[in-house]
Amino acid sequence: MTAMDSSGELPEVRLKDLRAGLPPVHVLGRVVTVSRKEITGKSDGRRHAVLSGLLSDGTATVRFTWWDPPAEGVDRGTVLRAVNAQVREFRERPELSFGWSTRIQPASDLELPALRADDLPLRGVADLHPPAEGFRLEVRVVDVMERTVTVGQERRVVHSGRLADGTGSIPFTSWIDFRLKPGNTVRIVGGYVRSFRGAPEVTLDERSHLEGIAPDLVPPTPAPATPRLSLGELESRGGGPEVEVGGLVVALGSPSGVVHLCPTCGRVLQEGICRHHGALEGVPDLRIRLHLDDGTGVATVNLSRNLAEKLAGRTLDQFLDRLKRQPDPSLNEQQLRQQLVGRRLRVRGRARVDEFGLALYPSACDEVTVPPDPAVDLLAARLTERVG
């Protein structure tokens, strides 16, 4: 890359302010995507290397084309400072062109100006569509959960859930642990919108900034219509933000019963160990995992403490008291299995599909009482007469 002897020759321009027809500009941005190819020059017939991709500074994302780049290229995630870049138009959007007169050098993450909430327009979540960025949100956290995903050869922990405001709700995925809890009201700057399974989703990463705000700044979310779906249909859709399903409990999953949570991050301990904070004394909590079957598919239903207590008819303290008297966790699981398997449930809440199949995270769970069928009684009576 060509070193610059002075970055102050031109005023720095944020990417959201680029317009076709501007004189050469000075920009700073992070490489979001990049690819290399070779083209044949029209004037000399020679093969020339070209880099092209997307550059973002959090306020906008623009295409760039880099003619005759250095042989070593540039890596995704690198922050670049480019002075004397040309602004062109591509499909009615501005595009940066780095030519022979453009001076480019890598920059530090610290040089990329922090996004300020006042600089960005306030958007409602119902108005967010890919590839939107350069906005701020004032939202309420509806729910949040942790999961582990594989990125290349690396296992990473991500947090996902839903955000809501007075216009509706939208899923989110965060690659950073912002320690969000259901009910938190936050202002978000530096998020962006991508498409996941055909629906918009807010993504948060190391560029994002979150701060708590007063609850009255976020209007209540209108109650959405809750579709009633079969499990097979729900799985083919890839889940949904608010759905209702019904089915028969066919098995109890593990862990069910008393679990212990890390007091720092809230993760479930495995044999007294948090994978982030090591061995420690956990905080007791209650969880129930059920396998629900409706004849079209099977789903894992993950019940939090309040719903688990309601369905089991016992409190966490009662479960703990039994463990004191009979310190064998399998006895609690055995009792739950005998109590719950075979019951018919109606479940409402969020659903998602991952490598383990369809999973439900309910906001409500109720037992369904099926009225007796007179035809069954009649058949039983006839069979009794024949046997007699």
At 9 the pLDDT is: 64
Task: Considering the domain delimited by 15-111, tell me its CATH architecture.
Answer: Beta Barrel (2.40)
At 41 the pLDDT is: 66
Break the chain down into helix, strand, coil percent, rounded to 5: 15, 45, 35
At 330 the pLDDT is: 80
At 5 the pLDDT is: 41
Residue found under tokens 């007179």: 374
pLDDT tens for 14-54 read 888 898 888 999 999 988 777 888 877 666 767 778 888 88
Class of domain 117-217: mainly beta
Q: How confident is the model over 116-133, as a mean pLDDT?
A: 82
109: left (phi over 0), alpha (psi -120 to 50) or beta: alpha
At 375 the pLDDT is: 62
At 296 the pLDDT is: 93
Q: Enumerate the domain spans of the chain.
A: 15-111, 117-217, 231-367
pLDDT tens for 234-290 read 998 888 878 899 999 999 988 888 888 887 777 788 878 887 778 888 888 889 999
pLDDT tens for 79-93 read 999 999 999 987 677
Same fold, 15-111 and 231-367: yes
At 365 the pLDDT is: 92
Mean pLDDT over all residues of the chain? 83
At 2 the pLDDT is: 41
Instruction: Tell me: cis bond preceding 255? Omega within 30 of 0 counts.
Output: yes
Alpha carbons 64 and 95: distance in angstroms, whole number: 6
SS3 307: helix
CA torsion sign for 123, 129, 135, 141 is positive
Percent of the chain whose predicted confidence (pLDDT) is above 90:
28
Q: How confident is the model over 61-71, as a mean pLDDT?
A: 86
Class of domain 231-367: mainly beta
Alpha carbons 55 and 102: distance in angstroms, whole number: 16
pLDDT tens for 92-105 read 778 999 998 999 99
**What's the Cα-to-Cα distance from 339 to each of 2, 41, 85, 251, rounded to whole Å?**
72, 76, 70, 11
User: Which residue stretches of the chain are H helix?
Assistant: 231-237, 305-312, 316-325, 329-340, 374-387
**What's the Cα-to-Cα distance from 199 to each of 146, 196, 241, 290, 349, rounded to whole Å?**
20, 5, 11, 28, 18
Nearest to 189 by CA among 212, 169, 165, 207: 207
Of 374 and 245, the structure prediction assigns the larger pLDDT to 245
